[in-house]
Structure 1
Amino acid sequence: MTRDPHRPEPLGSGRPPARTRAGIADGPGGTEEHPAPRRDPDTGPLVRIDQPPVPPRPAVGPSRGRPRPVAGPETSELRRDDERTDAVPPAPGGPAVEARDHGPGHEEAPADAPLTAVPDALGAEVTGEPPQDTPSGAPRAVGRAGRDMAAAVGVGLGLGAVVFATLLLWRPSFLAVVTAAVLISVFELSGALEKGGHRPARTPVLVGAIAMAALAWTRGPSGLVIAFLLTVFAVLLWRLGDGPVGYLRDASAAVFVALYVPLLAGFAVLLLAPDDGAARVLTFIGTVVCSDVGGFAAGVLFGKHPLARTVSPKKSWEGLAGSVAACVLIGTLLITLVFDGPWWGGVLFGVAIAVTATLGDLGESLIKRDLGIKDMGDLLPGHGGLMDRMDSLLPSAAVAWLILSMIAPV
């Protein structure tokens, strides 16, 4: 009976391996787990003809990056981010792709970068994108938040001037500003959802947004709720025209837009409606701004412990503490001096606004990461879209109206 030369010899047999008896020895570097290619005395090493040979790669220390496939036909070989190679084998019929040699001073990107580097205000150290250049060729001044800080400050001051002017000159003009901001935000959020595969109906939501602002101004909370319910009903009917495929997905997305933007913005209109509405709106907006400023300052100076690493890596527990401290200070001053309310009411107002504004910011960051985008739009230089500035204001408006209705009733 002929013995199979490739079957392993039993342990302790004392006979040399079948490969050695046949005159075929392992090449240099062969091991038990990964033997070198077999070498025939007449034809030389056996090489697969359906794949070009891959040159050996020099070892560069312990691999810490994630393995990723190497370009090549029908290969399952993995390569780690911190390994280097002189060239990638060309595909059959295609040109060779040479690896870039960045020089000895080049530092590789961190291997533990997030899987989706599309945060909401993250710098180049997270997104991996260099700062954009100005038309003159000089790089823009980008701060730790990954934004053009000069443009961001200028736009913020401009928006603040519009708010102050409309509130102090004629209150109904601020209602027009809120309605315009809501319509633009609906467009931006709907467009972002479309990039994620959803198709929210914009027309009924836009019409409903105008109705919610008008009825909140004229009829109060009941008018706002009724307008929202009618908007939801209109969305469900509107989507019927496109058939059953994706009905639940698209209708849910449109209802989410109606709830997130015009309904929450309607509480800002409810704050504006009383005779002292200008003071109430300024108290609400001023406290939210203090939350952002206090959180940013404390995060830059003392931030070490991430608050939600997978959602917004720049936010820290120290920044949240700074937001709470700033909001409590400004809230206590405004509630006691402007509305003659109790000091504990100012503390409650400040803590609630700080927490709500932070949760609103994190919520929109979570939405943008899920959709794979960095900003909701590009309307405001240094900020992104208008919706990117409404994220902390929208949920805080509802909380501000509720607390002010209790501690400073009309």
Structure 2
Amino acid sequence: MMAAGDHDAPGVDGETGHHQHTSTPPGTAVTGGTASRAGRNLPAAIAVGLGLGALLLAALLFWRHLFVAIVAAAVAVSTMELHRTLGRAAGVRLALAPLLVGGQAMIWLSWPFGTVGVLASFALTVVACLLWRFRGGADGYLRDTSASVFVAAYVPLFASFAALLVLSPDGAARTIAFLLAVVCSDTGGYVAGVLFGRHPMAPSISPKKSWEGFAGSLLAGVAAGVGSFVFLLDGAWWQGAIFGAALVVTATTGDLIESLVKRDVGVKDMGSLLPGHGGIMDRMDSLLPSAVVSWLLLTVFLPLA
């Protein structure tokens, strides 16, 4: 369930659009009449987003454990995208094998063992990353191991909280509430940014993200949170408002974090697997920290018996 865009501001950096975190490399042609003003193929992006949304919704409604498999697959692909991008652009050598194996352990061990399985898997993955890099010697050891630990935390550890959400008795409703809030936040931000964006939020990080877009995200995200709590989770409307507002903040923060990473290494996208979106990691950025906060807030507001 992927959103249509960012909190982009017209007139900032010359154009508007979706997830344009860095400038187009010199000499790169922009072709075709279907691209948005940010250089994205908007029809393709919408089609891919709807297709992914339908897949996730079907998994949640008919076989919740398929959602865990989808999360695990997304984690593996995102890890490989980061490995390739950081290696080519910055010369960082991630501990790929420990990250792939440990990442799957974090997701799948959440199923029978809950948070204990996730935490144990993460700790062992970190140890394995530190040991795996021994064979490369001292040159760049701190850089490479730090990047590996960052990836282990930011991708599989954060994603495991989405798996923890869906495995609860009312997991389908909890996960839909999480996804709906993030998607509405991104979509509301995109629409408001395109129509009204004038004041850049973080010009040195993501020049097209505007405060007007953030306001649109806040309105849409809070509305989604209130609706989810009232109609899906049998919670209080004010809990839904807090939930929606919190996820708007985490979704925006996640997007800015990936913008910083991509600016640091000088790339526009982490991959090209999803037409109109970029890579899987380019769609995971706002979801990952939001999964953590969703699990925490839902555990506090609606504790399981």
TM-score using structure 1 length: 0.68
Q: CA deviation at 1:290?
A: 0.0
| Contact 1:123–1:145 (8 Å) recurs in 2 | no
Look up the SS of the partner of 1:220 in the other structure: helix
Aligned match of 2:206: 312
Match of 1:359 among 244, 250, 253: 253
Q: CA deviation at 1:409?
A: 1.4
Aligned length: 289
Aligned match of 1:301: 195
The alignment status of 1:330 with 2:229, answered yes or no, reads no
| Contact 1:124–1:131 (8 Å) recurs in 2 | no
Aligned match of 2:56: 163
The alignment status of 1:181 with 2:74, answered yes or no, reads yes
| Contact 1:124–1:130 (8 Å) recurs in 2 | no
After TM superposition, list the pairs within 5 Å mapping 1:101-140 onto structure 2: 120-121=19-20, 129-132=28-31, 139-140=32-33
| Contact 1:328–1:349 (8 Å) recurs in 2 | yes
Q: CA deviation at 1:244?
A: 1.6
Q: CA deviation at 1:218?
A: 1.2
> Which amino acid in structure 2 is aligned with residue 365 of structure 1?
S
| Contact 2:22–2:268 (8 Å) recurs in 1 | no
Aligned match of 2:9: none
Q: CA deviation at 1:120?
A: 4.3
Distance in 2 of aligned mates of 1:123 and 1:231: 32
Match of 2:159 among 259, 265, 273: 265
| Contact 1:122–1:146 (8 Å) recurs in 2 | no
> Which amino acid in structure 1 is aligned with residue 297 of structure 2?
I
Q: CA deviation at 1:385?
A: 0.4
Q: CA deviation at 1:407?
A: 0.9
Aligned match of 1:21: none
Distance in 2 of aligned mates of 1:125 and 1:306: 19
Distance in 1 of aligned mates of 2:190 and 2:25: 18
Q: CA deviation at 1:189?
A: 1.0
Distance in 2 of aligned mates of 1:125 and 1:250: 28
The alignment status of 1:197 with 2:91, answered yes or no, reads yes
| Contact 1:124–1:146 (8 Å) recurs in 2 | no
Q: CA deviation at 1:246?
A: 1.2
1:297-321 Cα offsets, whole Å, 9 max, x none, are 1111110000011111111000001
Look up the SS of the partner of 2:109 in the other structure: helix
Distance in 1 of aligned mates of 2:23 and 2:162: 35
Look up the SS of the partner of 1:313 in the other structure: strand
The alignment status of 1:292 with 2:186, answered yes or no, reads yes
Distance in 2 of aligned mates of 1:127 and 1:310: 19
Distance in 2 of aligned mates of 1:113 and 1:342: 42
Q: Residues 126 and 313 from structure 1, CA distance in 2 versus in 1: closer, same or farther, beyond 3 angstroms?
A: farther
Q: Residues 242 and 236 from structure 1, CA distance in 2 versus in 1: closer, same or farther, beyond 3 angstroms?
A: same
Distance in 1 of aligned mates of 2:211 and 2:13: 21
| Contact 1:141–1:148 (8 Å) recurs in 2 | yes
Distance in 2 of aligned mates of 1:268 and 1:301: 32
> Which structure: larger Rg?
1
Distance in 2 of aligned mates of 1:399 and 1:128: 41
Distance in 1 of aligned mates of 2:167 and 2:214: 31
Q: CA deviation at 1:145?
A: 2.8
The alignment status of 1:221 with 2:124, answered yes or no, reads no
TM-score using structure 2 length: 0.90
| Contact 1:204–1:238 (8 Å) recurs in 2 | yes
Q: CA deviation at 1:129?
A: 4.5
- Larger fraction in helix: 2
Higher relative contact order (CA 8 A, sep 6+): 2
The alignment status of 1:239 with 2:133, answered yes or no, reads yes
| Contact 1:131–1:140 (8 Å) recurs in 2 | no
The CA RMSD over aligned residues, in Å, is 2.0
Distance in 2 of aligned mates of 1:399 and 1:127: 39
> Which amino acid in structure 1 is aligned with residue 77 of structure 2?
I
